[in-house]
Structure 1
Amino acid sequence: MSLGLVGRKVGMMRIFTEDGDSIPVTVLDVSNNRVTQIKTPEVDGYSAVQVAYGQRRASRVTKAAAGHYAKAGVEAGTVLKEFRIDAAKAAELKAGDIVAASLFEAGQ
């Protein structure tokens, strides 16, 4: 498994090749992805990373979710997703880290 990003579709555009061919592409907003929890095999039985995306006012978050975000030290998000990854890769991350598109390579 691999780490991923959570985003929102902004729109569509096209890119032209050197030959003049038009290729349709989707524009995504993947900013503000942050790690909220690291799941380990010792504690949770599997290895994964929880990532939050977006911003949500504190008054619009349940008390349980607010406690989860406060424990991680990050602001509340609109989307919370979990990605199963290797334990070695999970050890490199910690709660509160920003997951940016620069962590990925072309074609990954």
Structure 2
Amino acid sequence: MSGLIGKKIGMTSLYSADGKNLPCTLVEAGPCVVTQVKTVERDGYSALQLGFGEKKEKHTPAALNGHFKKTGVTPKAKLAEFRDFSLEKNEGETISVVDLFEEGDFVDVTSISKGKGFQGVVKRHGFAGVGGQTHGQHNRLRAPGAIGACATPSRVFKGTRMAGQTGNSQVTIENLQVLKVIEDRNLLVIKGSIPGPKGAIVKIYK
């Protein structure tokens, strides 16, 4: 699947032809440099490894520095692989936003969602709390309630919805429409919201 690495800029809105206000996300998509070409004969599958963003050589591991020098490109901040790429590119060549995307295209966007820290069951799973405050109950509005069965099986099942780390996980939103492609600034205006905070690295698949 073809795609580019990008950076989430933030949200805005556009008006459609019929006057509707559409929420949109601005993404700086590329330009990305081809840092490695994988082939079926040598690697067992076809893919392009793309690099996005600049990074100082002194902050890059020695093995990666050698990888970049072999390709003849400067160190990149983020690498990602895209299998079965629709374009044929050689190592060191650049792919820009207009090479892949047009207005009206539907894309899938993958990113790391915002981390919420350790949260209770109401925020994490949408629980309603134990309920009524009669019969001496107090401070039970956000409690999870019972989590196990008595003597059998006398344990808590794996996967039981409880409090814990929330967010900070990989999320993919599918079938988002590209409303605008701004070539001179490498921007995509995508309808709707995508995971992650401002400045988050995203992968856009076509």
> After the TM superposition, which residues 69-84 of structure 1 pair with which residues of structure 2 at under 5 Å, given as runs?
69-84=68-83
Matched-pair identity in % = 34
1:31-70 deviation line (CA, Å, top 9, x unaligned): 3311000001111111110000000000000000001111
Q: If each structure's helix is expressed as a fraction of its own residues, which one has the higher value?
A: 1
Q: 2-side partners of 1:31 and 1:79: how far apart?
A: 11
> CA distance change for structure 1 residues 9 and 105 in 2, over 3 Å: closer, same or farther?
closer
1:42 and 2:41 are equivalent in the alignment: yes
CA contact (8 A) 2:38 2:46 kept: yes
1:3 aligns with 2:2: yes
Q: Which runs of 5+ in 1 are unaligned?
A: none
CA offsets 1:9-51 (integer angstroms, 9 cap, x no match): 0111101012221001110112331100000111111111000
Equivalent residue runs for 1:25-36 within 5 Å: 25-36=24-35
Runs of 4+ in 1 over 2 A off after TM superposition: none
Q: What is the alpha-carbon distance in structure 2 between the residues aligned to residue 97 and residue 47 of structure 1?
A: 17
Q: Distance in 1 between matches of 2:31 and 2:17?
A: 34
Q: Which residues of structure 2 form unaligned runs of 5+?
A: 106-205
- Number of equivalences: 104
Q: Tell me the secondary structure at the aligned position of residue 25 of structure 1.
A: strand
Equivalent of residue 89 in structure 2, options 90, 93, 104: 93
Q: Does 1:18 align with 2:17?
A: yes
Residue in 2 that maps onto 1:64: 63
Kindly tell me: are residues 66 and 5 of structure 1, through their superposed partners in 2, closer, same or farther at Cα, counting changes over 3 Å?
A: same
| Structure 2 residue matching 1:23: 3-state secondary structure | strand
Query: Cα offset for 1:3?
Result: 1.6
Match among 81, 98, 102 for residue 102 of structure 1: 98
Query: For 1:37 and 1:31, how far apart are their aligned partners in 2?
Result: 16
Letter in 1 for 2:58: S
After superposition, the CA RMSD in angstroms is 1.4
The alignment's TM-score, normalised by the length of structure 2, stands at 0.48
Look up the match of 2:154: none
Q: TM-score, normalised by structure 1?
A: 0.89
Which amino acid counterpart does residue 65 of structure 1 have in structure 2? L
Could you say what secondary structure the match of 2:94 adopts? coil
